[in-house]
């Protein structure tokens, strides 16, 4: 069964009219959006779309003759989420620390832990103190490390010189 060009044209025209009538009657299923809500800015071969209501940015590009917009990850939101997560972790660790101090007998519930020399220092303000024997041992270790590093860098220098001589 062969359809004539006239019948086909009438069918297509009728479908277009029905679609137009449906749009005019408000039967269009697309959501109504404020025309001033989005701002498009060209960025090379793509466009950046800014949503003025939410502040979100999307990257719009043409894919297979169709424009598609993909949300750009918001670094600020990710940072705020990470800060919140770390804040909760710090609170939990402080509570655990207080519980451990209480169990060790350094504090009673509701009391602050007294400062004693038995607690390790974490503020880094005080220099560590060494006995004379530890000072000598530390000096020997530093001397050994210095000699080893000088030998290593000396070998690197000689290897570089040999390599440079081969290239000339």
pLDDT for the residue 166: 82
By three-state DSSP, how is residue 1 classified?
coil
Model confidence pLDDT, tens digit, residues 72-110: 887 777 888 889 999 999 999 999 998 888 888 776 556
Contact 2, 14 (CB under 8 A): no
pLDDT above 70: residue 130: yes
Please give the Cα distance from 39 to 50 (Å, whole number). Answer: 5
Rounded (10°) CA dihedral 102, 108, 111, 114? -70
3-state secondary structure labels for all residues of 104-118: CCCCCCCCCCCCCCC
Dist CA 99 CA 136 (whole Å): 40
Six token digits for residue 98: 């207080």
Could you tell me which of 61, 59, 82, 63 has the C-alpha nearest to residue 72? 59
């Amino acid at each position: 069964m062969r359809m004539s060009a006239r019948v086909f044209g009438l069918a297509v025209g009728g479908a277009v009219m029905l679609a137009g009538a449906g749009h005019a009657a408000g039967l269009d299923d697309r959501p109504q959006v404020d025309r001033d809500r989005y701002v498009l800015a060209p960025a090379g071969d793509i466009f950046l779309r800014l949503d003025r209501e939410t502040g979100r940015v999307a990257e719009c590009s043409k894919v297979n003759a169709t424009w598609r917009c993909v949300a750009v990850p918001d670094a600020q939101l990710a940072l705020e989420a990470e800060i919140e997560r770390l804040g909760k972790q710090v609170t939990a660790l402080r509570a655990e620390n207080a519980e451990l101090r209480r169990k060790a007998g350094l504090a009673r519930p509701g009391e602050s832990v007294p400062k004693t020399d038995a607690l390790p220092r974490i503020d880094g303000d005080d220099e560590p103190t060494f006995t004379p024997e530890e000072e000598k041992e530390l000096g020997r270790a530093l001397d050994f490390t210095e000699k080893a590093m000088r030998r290593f860098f000396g070998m690197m220098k000689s290897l570089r010189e040999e390599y440079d001589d081969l290239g000339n």
